[in-house]
Amino acid sequence: MRDTVITKDMIANPTSHYGNAKASTRHFITQRVTGAINIVFLGFLLFIVVRLAGQDRADIVGVLGAWWVGVPFAVLIGVVAVHMRNGMRDTLEDYMHGSVYRLAMLLNTLFCLLIALAGAGAVLKIVFWG
């Protein structure tokens, strides 16, 4: 969380360990695992949008309200939100530092949380309460 000036010596020295090895590896693995799962999400999305775009509420409840469609779709929206937050973190790290970065990262987390909660919430509402 602190800005350390990275010198040539630090980069050249293999024992200086700049960067966070554990967190960075977790970030890398998370992005790939969620990315692979997102292909399944896109399959669901294609089916749901093609079937329900422009349709009335009754049709949406009929298709999305089936638990074996709605529940996996709600979970997949959550996975997408994790991928979104991780990916936006990469972008923010490249262009921002210090307190500006931390503020941007906070907004990023809030937006992804909102997408996950509102998206999954809406789908689960349709599944369980019609």
Partner 1 sequence: MSVRARPTSPHLQIYRWTITMAMSIIHRATGIANYAGMALLVIWLGAAAFGQDALTSVNFIYGSWFGQLVLFGFTWSLAHHMLGGLRHFVWDFAVMMEPGQREALAWANLAASVVITLLIWTLFVWMV
Residue number, 67 or 93, with CB nearest to partner 1:
93
Residue matched to tokens 């490249």: 94
Nearest to 116 by CA among 50, 57, 34: 34
* 101 within 8 A of 92, measured Cβ to Cβ: yes
3: contact with partner 1 by CB under 8 A: yes
Task: Say how far residue 19 (Cα) sits from the centre of its chain.
Answer: 22
| Sites of contact with partner 1 (CB under 8 A) | 1-6, 11, 18-20, 23-24, 26-27, 32, 35-36, 38-39, 42, 45-46, 50, 53-57, 60-61, 64, 77, 80-81, 84, 87-89, 91, 93-94, 97-98, 101-102, 115, 118-119, 121-123, 125-126
